């Protein structure tokens, strides 16, 4: 009886280990690439080209590196500066620039830069509180 227990334990162990599937050499490996954006990101939006001015089209340029924006600069169509405003991290993958000075110069209260796969370019840009 003493020899029966070790033999049955050995047989159970051998049986359980034999049920593991062998490693397949042709496994597809998913490589995660590091995403970066081509800064500066430029474009136009609707706002006021200076304090007290009538609403119109203004240009913006976002500077940064990798996937992190650092600042947004607004200019008039004729090239006049409306200021540079820094981005700050508001939550992971979300950056916000804004303030009273930006609202006074452009009528835009904030700019939201969101990194996400739902956006075709990998990021979404939202202008908050602009002229309607």
Does residue 18 sit in helix, strand or coil?
helix
| 49: in domain | yes
Edge-to-edge strand list for the sheet holding 123-128: 88-91, 94-98, 110-115, 123-128
Q: Sort strands 110-115 and 123-128 into parallel, antiparallel or unpaired.
A: antiparallel
Range of the domain at 53: 41-128
| 6: in domain | no
**Tokens encoding 127:** 């202008």
Mean pLDDT for the stretch of residues 112-125: 86
Q: What share of the chain is helix, strand, coil (3-state, %, to 5)?
A: 15, 40, 45
Percent of the chain residues past pLDDT 90, beyond the cut: 35
Distance CA 42, CA 73 (A): 9
Please give the mean pLDDT across all residues of the chain: 81
**Looking at residue 15, what is its pLDDT?**
61
Higher local confidence (pLDDT), 121 or 4 = 121
**Looking at residue 68, what is its pLDDT?**
92
pLDDT bracket for residue 132 (50, 70, 90)? very low
| 11: in domain | no
Handedness of CA 80, 83, 89, 95 (dihedral sign): negative
Q: What pTM was estimated for this model as a whole? A: 0.70
| 12: in domain | no
Q: Is the pLDDT of residue 116 over 90?
A: no
Structurally, how many domains does the chain consist of? 1
Edge-to-edge strand list for the sheet holding 56-65: 41-47, 56-65, 68-75, 81-86
Q: pLDDT for 5-55, tens place per residue?
A: 677 766 666 666 666 555 556 656 555 555 667 899 999 998 888 777 888
| 61: in domain | yes
| 31: in domain | no
**Looking at residue 53, what is its pLDDT?**
81
Residue 9 exposure: Cα atoms within 13 Å on the Cβ side: 5
């Amino acid at each position: 009886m003493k020899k029966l227990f070790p033999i049955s334990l050995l047989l159970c162990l051998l049986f359980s280990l034999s049920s593991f599937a062998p490693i397949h050499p042709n496994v597809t490996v998913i490589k995660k690439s590091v995403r970066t954006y081509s800064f500066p990101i430029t474009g136009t939006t609707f706002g006021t080209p200076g304090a007290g001015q009538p609403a119109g089209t203004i240009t913006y340029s976002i500077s940064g590196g990798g996937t992190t924006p650092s600042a947004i600069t607004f200019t008039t169509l004729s090239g006049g500066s409306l200021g540079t405003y820094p981005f700050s991290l508001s939550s992971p993958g979300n950056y916000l620039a804004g303030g009273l000075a930006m609202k006074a110069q452009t009528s835009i209260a904030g700019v939201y830069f969101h990194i996400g796969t739902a956006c075709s370019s990998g990021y979404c840009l939202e202008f908050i509180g602009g002229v309607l």
